[in-house]
Amino acid sequence: MKTEQQYFEEAISLNEYMEKMESHKDNSFEIYEQFHVPQDDEFIALLKDKSPHILGITEDWCGDAMLNNPILRRVAEAANIDVRVVYRDQTLDLIDRYLINGGRSIPVYLLLDQDGKVIAKWGPRAPKLQEYVMELRKELPASDDPTFKDKQKAFIDKITAEYISTPEYWLWVYEDIRKEFTAALQKQS
């Protein structure tokens, strides 16, 4: 069984992944162009000091990945750390180690120390965003309802549009990644 570090070594850079995207590429780059890491951030200094690397598990059809990947890319650029990604559907052995409520939810970001040990996991959504999405989801009919598919598509379209156009959501993602990874890195001291 491959280690997370071995997956990292074989993975592609987040930049390369975003360039190869087929679904959500324009949306993801729209977020990337508009999001900037907050100034005077101790998190970035901590990342620079500890020099971890991050392994992402993602797919380009995923709306949460569309939102989170460009934010993580900006963090990586600000801190000059290496982020590489693998495709979930090609690495089931890996994603199955990090199931969310029994499912293969993505994206998942694994913070690896310099020895390749996983010291933190983040994903697939910031808690505030999860609450919001789950509230909206309550409005969907049962999956066997004849209107379900149309209403689910409208739900996905609404969330996608909001992900692209709501800087507050971007900050929720950033702040939660910051919180989780900072706690893990501070334990390393």
In tens, the pLDDT along 46-63 reads 999 999 999 999 999 999
Q: Report, in angstroms and rounded to the nearest whole number, the Rg of the chain calculated over CA atoms.
A: 17
Question: Would you say residue 92 lies in a domain?
Answer: yes
Chain-wide mean pLDDT for the chain?
A: 94
Q: Which pLDDT band, with edges at 50, 70 and 90, does 27 fall under?
A: very high
H helices, E strands: number in the chain: 9, 5
Residue 41: the pLDDT is 77
Spatial contact of 173 and 124, defined as CB atoms under 8 Å apart: no
Q: What is the value of pTM for the model shown?
A: 0.94
In a domain, 28, yes or no: yes
The answer to whether residue 149 sits within a structural domain is: no
Q: How do strand 82-87 and strand 53-58 relate by DSSP bridges?
A: parallel
Domain-embedded: residue 151:
no
Let me know if residue 31 belongs to a domain: yes
- Is the confidence at residue 35, as pLDDT, over 70? yes
**pLDDT (average), residues 35-41:** 85
Q: How confident is the model at residue 189 (pLDDT cuts 50, 70, 90)?
A: low
pLDDT surpassing 90 at residue 24:
yes
Residue 103 and residue 95 in contact, taking contact as beta carbons nearer than 8 Å:
no
Q: Cα separation of 24 and 58, whole Å?
A: 13
CA proximity to 25, closest of 63, 55, 73, 56: 63
pLDDT in tens, 135-151: 999 999 999 999 999 99
What tokens does 38 get? 């907050």
8 Å CB contact between 116 and 4: yes
Token pair 């074989």: residue = 10
> Nearest CA to 71 among 184, 189, 166?
166
pLDDT at residue number 91: 95
CATH of the domain at 69: 3.40.30.10
Does 150 reside within a domain? Answer: no
Model pLDDT, residue 43: 93
57 to 50, 60, 138, 149: CA distances (angstroms): 22, 10, 27, 27
Helix (H, G, I), strand (E, B) or coil at 78: helix
| Closest to 35 measured CA to CA, from 62, 2, 75 | 75
- Which domain covers residue 11, as residue numbers? 4-126+167-187
pLDDT bin (cut points 50, 70, 90) of residue 38 is: confident
pLDDT digits (tens, 9 = 90+) for 68-100: 999 999 999 999 999 999 999 999 999 999 999
- Average pLDDT for residues 169-182, to the nearest whole number? 96
Is the pLDDT at 105 greater than 80? The verdict is yes
Within a domain: 136: no
Domain count, the chain: 1
Q: Per-residue pLDDT averaged across 107-113, rounded?
A: 97
C-alpha span between 31 and 166 (Å, rounded): 9
90 found inside a domain: yes
Please give the order of strands across the beta sheet that includes 108-112.
Answer: 12-13, 82-87, 53-58, 108-112, 118-122
Apex CA 27: angle with CA 25 and CA 28, to 5°?
65
Report the distance separating Cα 95 and Cα 106, nearest Å.
Answer: 9
